[in-house]
Amino acid sequence: MEKSTRQILVVDDNAVLRRLLTTVLKLRGFEVLTAENGEVALDMLANGASGVSMMIVDVRMPRLDGIGVLKAVKQEHGDIPVVMLTIPDEADRADEARQLGAEDFLIKPVDPGSLMAVVERVIGHA
């Protein structure tokens, strides 16, 4: 992997949304890894998914939700910025995530312009 390539780990139980985010990010030059839930994402990080520049994590997922992922990442991989995916009526969860160190939030449905604005603010261009 070239040093200039930025790697983003997208964590969401919705396969359609994972594909959409992956497509947009790859078109902008980012390398993308995906996980269908928080447990898989943490396993990936623990087992050598080095080089992750940023994570985009859904707040609501089965098994291990986004808040649990955020807590674990901040404890074990504190240098990886985490952006949370949420729906408009989950303000309480967004506040909790912000207090735990989330970098930013994306509101579903995510439009490509908002996605790229947040990514570029958090980690820069690919």
**Which tens digits make up the pLDDT trace of 75-116?**
998 899 999 999 988 878 888 999 999 999 999 999 999 999
| CB-based contacts of 22, cutoff 8 Å, min separation 6 | 10, 32, 34
Residue with tokens 């992922």: 69
Whether 93 maps to a domain, the answer reads yes
Is 70 within the bounds of a domain? yes
pLDDT of amino acid 126: 59
Length of the chain equals 126
Number of domains the chain contains = 1
Cβ atoms of 69 and 57 within 8 Å: the answer is yes
Q: Is residue 2 part of a domain?
A: no
78 inside domain: yes
Residue 34's beta-bridge partner residues? Answer: 10
Predicted confidence (pLDDT) per residue in 33-76, tens digit: 999 999 999 999 999 777 899 999 999 998 899 999 999 999 99
Question: What pLDDT, on a 0 to 100 scale, did the predictor assign at position 2?
Answer: 42
**In this structure, is residue 25 part of a structural domain?**
yes
Provide the residue range defining the domain that includes 80: 7-123
Q: CA 16, CA 22: separation in Å to the nearest integer?
A: 10
Instruction: Decide if 74 is inside a domain.
Output: yes
In a domain, 1, yes or no: no
pLDDT of residue 32: 97
How confident is the model at residue 114, as a pLDDT?
96
Query: What's the CATH code of the domain at 104?
Result: 3.40.50.2300
